[in-house]
Structure 1
Amino acid sequence: MTWNSPAMKERAPVATILLLLANLIVAGFTLGVEQAAYTHGLIPAAQGEAWRTQIRPILTHAFVHVDPFHLLVNMIVLAALGPVVERALGFWRLLLLFLGAAWLGGLAHWAIVRMQSSEVAALPLVGASGGIAGLVGYSFLRFFRERVPLFPRVRVPVFLVIGAWLLLEFALAVSSLRTFELASSHWAHLGGLAVGLGLAFLFGAGSAVTEDQYERRLEEAKRSGTEALLGLMKQRIQDRPEDAQALQSLVRALVEAGRSQTARETLVELAQRGKGEVPVVVLGLLVEHGWAASLPAKVRIRLADQAAISNPWLAETALTSVLEEPSSEDTADALASLVTLLADRDEAAARRYAKLLRTEHAGSFQADRIQRLYPHLCENS
């Protein structure tokens, strides 16, 4: 089992616990010790070649806290948001998000504060606020409407946690600018927040939110009844035709509700009137449920030709279903499409269908066309 496996995401938030322990253990040595901030904090005032000496503080400053209140604020937010984010991202991505936001936020602080007064640039940057800001940025996009455990049996919306954090950090930033006390920097926060937002997009937080919303709507539709399920199915097919699993769950919900015929009729309508890839997706659902014959033969042939490249199995299945019906002009069209589909994939099968076409539909347009296009398949047939 890997750290990032689905099963791991359901277990204890190990990465969050490790980050909390690391901060608390280091705090046991640094709380109230101002010199620790100058020894392990990030000081932008380094000049010339001295920037090389800042590499270690860039890595260590995020775990150093001198002020107990600063530590308390950061640990509360980390304990509230960390487990939720970790279950969404997994162990390694949570660490990447926190450490990347902390370190890049520190670099943003270092680069910008160096251009300010020497008094400000001489102050060390300490604290996990940059990493916390990264969690805030990710959570803002991914879990804005979710509730997180703040205390035992107390769950609050993420936007309240984020709002409280922003207010507290704003107060700390204003205080640090006025008094020049050792405090975290709002530039580090902004840098960490930007990293969190960027990684949220990179990790697909936007699409994950859409999926969460869809799951909630699906549960609501199941409670509301058939019409709500049908409406959701039509919209889902239009919005995300490639998501066959979600569409299958909608069809299954309708079948379980005793509305198989309604589901079939709706799919047939979508197959005939849909645009783009939607009809092909619907054809796949009809074939999977054994409802392909509900589609007119001409529609099946047209959609099979459309699906020939992306899903040759589906195309062949739809076309052979036409052959199971009484012989007609559509049968000749289906045979011709099968020969075209299988000419480069299964020559023996293509020859069989070419022979059927020439035997049962001799002189037809399709028989003559296949003879011209694939003469080698029609030899001795």
Structure 2
Amino acid sequence: MYSTMAKKPLLEFTDRGIYCSQGKFYIDPWKPVDDAVITHAHADHAYVGHKHYLAHHLSREVLYYRLGEIQLQTVEYGETVMKNGVSISLFPAGHVIGSAQIRVEYKGEVWVVSGDYKTEDDGISTPFEPVQCHHFISECTFGMPVYTWKPQVQIFEDINNWWRSNLHNGLATVLVGYSLGKAQRILQNLDLFNGKVYTHGVIENTNEALRRNGVLLNPTERITQESIKEEVRKGIIIAPPSSVGTPWMRKFQPYSFGYCSGWMAIRGAKRRRAADRGFVLSDHADWDGLISAIDATRCESVYLTHGYTATFARYLSGIGFDAHEVHTLYGGEEEEASLQPSPEERGLEAHEQDNRNANKEVLSFGEDLGEAGGTPS
């Protein structure tokens, strides 16, 4: 395995975020800092209030749309930026358009902060690229064996067949997915056999920002007060999670409502959203994707930021990794918190129900990552 003898680690967790003291910058900080490196534009990773931002150039217009007139520097994948002798470069994460893994190197010590990622090529995001490192900071949103995704071509075949069935039965088709990532993935992979794609304003605002950034998306039409209901009902409507159960959605009745999320793998999640159809489509890696991605880094230490951290840390420790949980504020925007399954729906044993307490080796804020020590849990 890739290994290092460095005693002082390059990155640490603080109450503001992941910090590089040598470089004097933070990665995805959740409290205001002077210098922030951002993995992607989802709100649990890109907060307002920092003095300076660094991100991939395809995140530029969405960050401006979400955060306002920030001081923002953007770079291409593979381009190197130096901060106080520390080398920073961005590599594709495959999560959403513009998402990046952050590679940080100083005096031969290499860390990679993955942000959020998926390993399947979705046809719209730059595909995930493994980056070799000594230490890998990973999510594990779906870090349980029950979460194994089917190829997306099968999911979209199901979606297209459902749409055709709705048209045959005189029903409008409303498909719900998060406004950044899921909505564009749906748009680019639908079989547009029946004409127009109509969008909620929140999704169309994001589409417009991406188009300003040079991203080529299939045509869409914003739904407004002037939209003709009968025409909209003939197409397909892409809506954000916030629209579920609102008067805005009800005006398209009668309709069939589908929800795209990895949480749809658990039937209880579909019941809670009262969806007619649940499509298991996630912008996060599944169980096999997480393992393959981590293995490809050839790292010796893994730090798990959010998801099934205790369960996944124990599994990785069992196959030879030095695996740890760390406490962050990541997770929850693009996969609605209300969709997350209860412990009973996960099918876990009682001792697994409290995910965080199950592992005794949780690193506290400010604890030196390289000094976690002890036997991996």
Instruction: Please confirm whether the aligned pair reaches a TM-score higher than 0.5, indicating the same fold.
Output: no
The structure whose residues are more often strand, as a share, is 2
Rg larger in structure: 1
The structure whose residues are more often helix, as a share, is 1
Structure with the larger RCO, 1 or 2 (CA within 8 Å, 6+ apart): 2
- TM-score for both structures, normalised by structure 2: 0.23
